[in-house]
Amino acid sequence: MIVDAAAFPPHFKFGVATSAYQIEGAIDADGRGRSIWDTFCETPGAVERGESAAVACDHYHRMPEDVALLRDMGVSSYRFSIGWPRIQPTGKGPANAKGMAFYDRLVDELLRVGIRPFPTLYHWDLPQALEDAGGWPARDTATRFADYAALMATALGDRVQDWALFNESFIFTSRGYLLGRYAPGKRDLGDFLRAVHTVSLAHGDGFHAIKAVRPQARVGSVFALAPCEPAVDTPADREAAVYADALFNRLFLDPLFHGTHPAEFLESVPENVLGQEPGDERRMRVPLDFIGVNCYYRLVVSAGGERPNLPFFLFSIRNDARTTGGHGDFSGRRATDPHENPYGNPYGTGLRIENAFGRDHGARTEMGWEIWPNALRDALLLLTERYGPIPIEVCESGCAFADVPDADGVVRDTARITYHQDHLAAVADAIAGGADVKSYHAWSLFDNFEWASGYRPRFGLVHVDYATQRRTLKSSGAWYRTLCQAARQRQA
């Protein structure tokens, strides 16, 4: 579907997104401390082909030219993340001056060329020293996060108005502490449950820490959302879909809006197992100024037996037989097939997710994910229905394909153009339906280090030759540039 800038409100922002660990490199530069991902990358078998982000896109050294690329693309918003270990090498104490100076220069460069700086404070790179002290399962980590948030707001808040606290809390807690598939690579149910609660506390603490320093700042957080639908229209499958929705979509949103974890979750997970203490309800509940949304697919859910009377229980996962050959057991191993369902097994009641990345209606990306733009529309409308007319920022939307330059050096990624066209149309539909959507950020600006998948998946609008660090605008990047420039002309 063809959409253009005129389909959106006049001040709608078209942007791109990155994260610090995936693009910066320079992991030993200027006093940066170790992160859990540095350690994880050194673990044999943790990352495809043993790759690491030691160099990545070398953005730390190439930042000015990268901002010039953003300027030339005409984007009006740049969502990036701040590497906590660059600011506090051990996760506490005063700011590392050289690390802070990098982000100070980045913000100034963005503002100089008329681009909104839109930082995320935590995009998965916890200082290793904090993990050694207990990591996210330890309640003290919420306090450490609030101290870090205050440092950043003090240093940059005179120029940065919009702050995201976390990126995809469900993903980094479940994959990092339950499934062992992401850093810190743990597989412990208790750690996962306590991490869920600590991160909810950290949302509240971080929100108030920023507001105490910069009362006028807009503070929100970014959530991975996937509309859940029953595999078959039966009572059992409808109940299964409701439960999956509570775990995947509401586990971190409900505490912020209502001060409590979803009722469906608490039916099987007593609050004392989470490490909840008196007063935590007030500490978690905060009036977010916006919700950030990353939505890559829908989840199709079916029931798989009676709900056992256990404090916690597991999904079994069935992926599309075309990519995984049937059922997958994710309870006690790290996946080696890149097409497997990455969200594994952290939350069920003897439920089964059928074709966890959707049905067979849409094409699939290189990650094995069904392309279903209506999932984004539905996620935006559901947020509005559940939590009221809160402003929404689409903080990531993108797709991985096996991009290869032609003989003339051009990456003709027409499938990615179609993907963004269709997802922008879904956003326009959601706005027409009453969702207060303020922006759309393409994931990602660059091909980059894609966590445990290493450098194989390419999500970027810009192709990166990792051997030379040459950046080449793909066909999708040129198309997006035209869209962004048209939007800027409307706003002039």
Q: Give the residue numbers annotated as catalytic, written as ranges.
A: 168, 396
- In terms of Cβ atoms closer than 10 Å to its own Cβ (0-12, 13-18, 19+), residue 272 is exposed
Match 């056992």 to its residue by tokens: 308
Residue 198 gets which letter from DSSP?
A: H
**In this structure, are residues 376 and 224 in contact, taking their beta carbons and an 8 Å threshold?**
no
Number of CB atoms found within 10 A of residue 215's CB: 8
Rounded distance between C-alpha atoms, residue 331 and residue 181, angstroms: 11
Rounded distance between C-alpha atoms, residue 5 and residue 28, angstroms: 42
What are the Cα distances from residue 145, in Å, to 140, 165, 258, 388? 9, 9, 22, 28
E strand segments, 8-134: 13-17, 77-81, 116-122
Rounded distance between C-alpha atoms, residue 412 and residue 403, angstroms: 8
**In this structure, are residues 49 and 454 in contact, taking their beta carbons and an 8 Å threshold?**
yes
Three-state DSSP class for 466? coil
Q: Cα 384 to the chain's mean position, in Å?
A: 20
List of residues 6+ apart from 336 with CB closer than 8 A: none
Residue 138 gets which letter from DSSP?
A: S
